[in-house]
Structure 1
């Protein structure tokens, strides 16, 4: 069997590369990934057969958007050509956000600080909100207020959008209510972590990004977004190993090509909506149970399993009721989500023997016994929030803060294009009269 690359296949068919991948998504063509996981190859005979037959007739309308931000491999994303799993192990979230935005922050990164007046206004706006409100709901209020108080929000050139992104992400975190810290008995892990500040080490190791020579410089671990977010989501004193795991999760979740919320963000940006409006649009989509809200469903699943031995009963009851098991399976990664694998590896090392980790492992074992799909990033994220004693819905908040970087990267592409995204419907209603 002869395999040809995407450019050759597109040329033989006389179509754009975007159309070629549309054929793949509709099952018209098969493809395989190269050894590097980035390049796509096609069966030459199948391409030739399609070329002789002509393009598929009356194809269903499909929105295909060209983007240089994220490519999806067989089990992981690649951010501007670099394996996101490698970035998650070696670079802080701030550096990865800059890489997604395509900006060079040279030797000293700009400060990630929100506008203090806007943060105060956003904090005050939450004063009348109901107690127990999920963090994602608060983030929508915060985004609205931060946008209303930012006079620079209409500057849509790349440098300005990147600066807005730093202010916005920092504001999203700092305007969330701080959790009252409670003392917890020191563990072996805590004592070891005092000698090895994992987050600061991760920041100092950044620099594998071509064109982004970000270094920790004078930035302390406490100033990083991951460390600041920790205190907004859990009353537990910072555990450096778990804060480092949170840092990893932020990088793994920073972008995922045209997920539902990202598509919504791009549509808003194509209409020249400002970055705050773009993020607010995406936040409205993110909380759906088939998207970012899946982590909340996984949190509730873990809460149901009071003991590892209860995993079989809980899963059985859900299957009997015909309910889906949140946090397992993925529409893109049919053979497993390696983002989840990486995050679980870090959690196992960070909290060996932790009771909540045993519960999560029991659920995974039960799903394997039933030959159900492998866990995805949402279940790994829920495990992180459970281990860290975070508030309900913390996974959605982590997802939202992380994905804001990706949403704004996609917004930048739409701002540069200057054309409105306007898909057409395939009308199936009664004939017009």
Structure 2
């Protein structure tokens, strides 16, 4: 029978498109078995297509099925068929191709199931978030606080992961838990006091003292990772509370505001903060969707090594979708009144979401994980879903508060 080469794990140390691969370790191929196992190691953050491999033991050329990609930290299961000059007696093409067809069918079913999960849970999250944004007030703030708590736990688990902890000393677990609770309290304190500066300063002082007074030798890496956690997971999300609940000026001169139903609080509840929050969230969703579709259809040029799947073509498509959504909603909702302000808001939303996504991708890359958690089936963790929103709230709030005269009304 024609020998089969079964690749379970690909880890390439050195491979170029114009050269043959070199193996870190060669596995013995028993003569009695038709299945052979090869362990390869690709260069970091490479996305290569293997075409031909020379099997020295049998002196045959093994051709791998087109489309097999090697990505960093990805386990690839594939079966490659050795193609000798002839087929042994009694062997049919179906016997040779059977394992490959079964593996392809199983992979297709798995992808379809994953896609269904993403769509179902994505729609559920979208409807829930829409209701929470419309409710505003304490409902909006408590939901933000809960998401911040889970996101902070995920962040500190990433800091403690092997990929990051091997190069630094992570904070002790009790400090991580205290930081997670402090991050969850920040949005609530923001709504109650209207300002978060004093609370953040006090929290940073408490965490620094706890780290400096621990029994073990305190390390700067512990302090820096804890402080960044307070900033990234606690302080930045508070601006969504300031945007939604702090900009309470009614937008009464808009057609939608005049017709806002009494059941939802009447005209006074149609505020600048509500409109700005709806436009920002919708623009970010449009940017992610257009970037995904554009990258799948036209993506050829990688954007950055931090996130190898992102392409310049997808980025341009996402920017266009974000600006178009912001401009369209500004016309429908009559806010902001200036068309140039609506375009500027779309650009700001896009770059805030892009760099928020890249920041979380950098943390996950150093941690050596694909997702920040497994809380949401098909989507990963909380940080995987809200990374595009972390910086955006602060940018939009600053834009509306300082650059739009009379909040753009």
Could you tell me the TM-score, scaled by structure 1's length?
0.31
Higher strand share: 2
Which protein has greater RCO, CA pairs closer than 8 Å, 6+ apart? 1
